[in-house]
């Protein structure tokens, strides 16, 4: 029996890597290019160059991190869905999947994998997404089912307020701003990172304070830092 021939380059699924860490992109490219059915067609580190690469290269799949050098992964996913509706998007991120997976799926992603997962889990997710399915972990599925069964959209137990549940009140953009506040960025730097005006960021800060019941900017910064630490501890960063 003769071995099956390798698929032609034109038959391989083309993957665009979007991550702000060059070493990680290089490592992913080396791994994915060893797969007989995949080829990495391009790389990007931020929202603007990712959109340009998607337009120029026409990949089949975009592998996207949520934290980018410029812009935000959730907003990028929304943009890609509008501009390239046939492009499949899979999130590969360090951010806690119980907080971000459902947001990513609502934005248009077809799956969510955390960076601490083993390589075979990522390859499984890529295969399922390319086959037309949605991929999330069993933990995310159980979390969503539990919320639906209890009728509790926030995810908290009745009468209980948790770090994960109160951020559920925030919009995607507000959560982006909240996360960057927790990383120590001020209004000007957040505005530059998200390509928004300082006035818009200040408006988001006010909305966040109102939704979380915070009195002033000091409480906002304290709560954001606490949440950032909680999120890092939850994923073992």
What is the DSSP code (8-state) at residue 169? Answer: G
Residues 107, 97, 25, 125, CA torsion sign: negative
Task: Write down the domain spans for the chain.
Answer: 9-140, 155-234
Architecture of domain 9-140: 3-Layer(aba) Sandwich (3.40)
What is the predicted pLDDT for the residue at 4? 52
Tokens at 56, concatenated: 């120029």
C-alpha distances in angstroms, 95 versus 34, 111, 113?
A: 27, 14, 10
Is the distance from CB of 165 to CB of 156 less than 8 angstroms?
yes
CA dihedral 235, 80, 110, 6 (to 10 degrees): -100
Q: What is the pLDDT at residue 3? A: 52
Walk along the chain (237 residues) and give the pLDDT tens digit of each residue. 555 555 666 689 999 999 999 999 999 999 999 999 999 999 999 999 999 999 999 999 999 999 888 888 999 999 999 999 999 999 999 888 888 998 999 999 999 999 999 999 999 999 999 999 999 988 888 776 666 666 655 444 444 445 556 788 899 999 989 989 998 999 999 999 888 999 999 999 999 999 999 999 999 999 998 887 766 555 454
Which residue, 172, 155, 171, is CA-closest to 163?
155
Q: Do domains 9-140 and 155-234 have the same CATH topology?
A: no
- Closest C-alpha to 76, from 112, 47, 110, 111: 47
Name the strands in the sheet holding 88-93, side by side, starting at the edge strand that comes first in the sequence. Answer: 38-44, 13-18, 61-64, 88-93, 111-114
Fold of 155-234: Arc Repressor Mutant, subunit A (1.10.10)
């Amino acid at each position: 029996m003769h071995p099956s021939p390798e698929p032609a380059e034109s038959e391989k699924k083309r993957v665009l890597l979007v991550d702000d860490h060059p070493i990680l992109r290089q490592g992913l490219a080396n791994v994915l290019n060893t797969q007989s059915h995949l080829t990495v067609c391009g790389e990007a580190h931020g929202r603007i160059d990712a959109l340009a690469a998607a337009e120029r290269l026409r990949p089949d799949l975009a592998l996207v991190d949520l934290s980018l050098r410029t812009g935000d992964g959730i907003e990028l996913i929304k943009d890609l869905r509008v501009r390239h509706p046939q492009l499949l998007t899979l999130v590969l991120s360090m951010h806690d999947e119980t907080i971000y997976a459902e947001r990513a799926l609502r934005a248009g992603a077809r799956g969510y994998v955390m960076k601490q997962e083993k390589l075979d889990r990522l390859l499984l997710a890529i295969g399922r997404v390319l086959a037309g399915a949605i991929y999330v972990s069993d933990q995310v599925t159980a979390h969503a089912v539990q919320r639906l069964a209890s009728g509790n959209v926030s995810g908290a137990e009745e009468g209980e307020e948790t770090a994960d549940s109160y951020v559920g009140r925030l919009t995607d953009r507000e959560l982006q701003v909240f996360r960057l506040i927790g990383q120590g960025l001020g209004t000007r730097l957040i505005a530059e990172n998200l390509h928004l005006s300082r006035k818009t960021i200040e408006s988001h800060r006010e909305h966040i304070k109102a939704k979380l019941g915070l009195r002033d900017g000091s409480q906002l910064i304290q709560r954001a830092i606490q949440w950032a630490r909680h999120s890092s501890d939850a994923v073992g960063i």
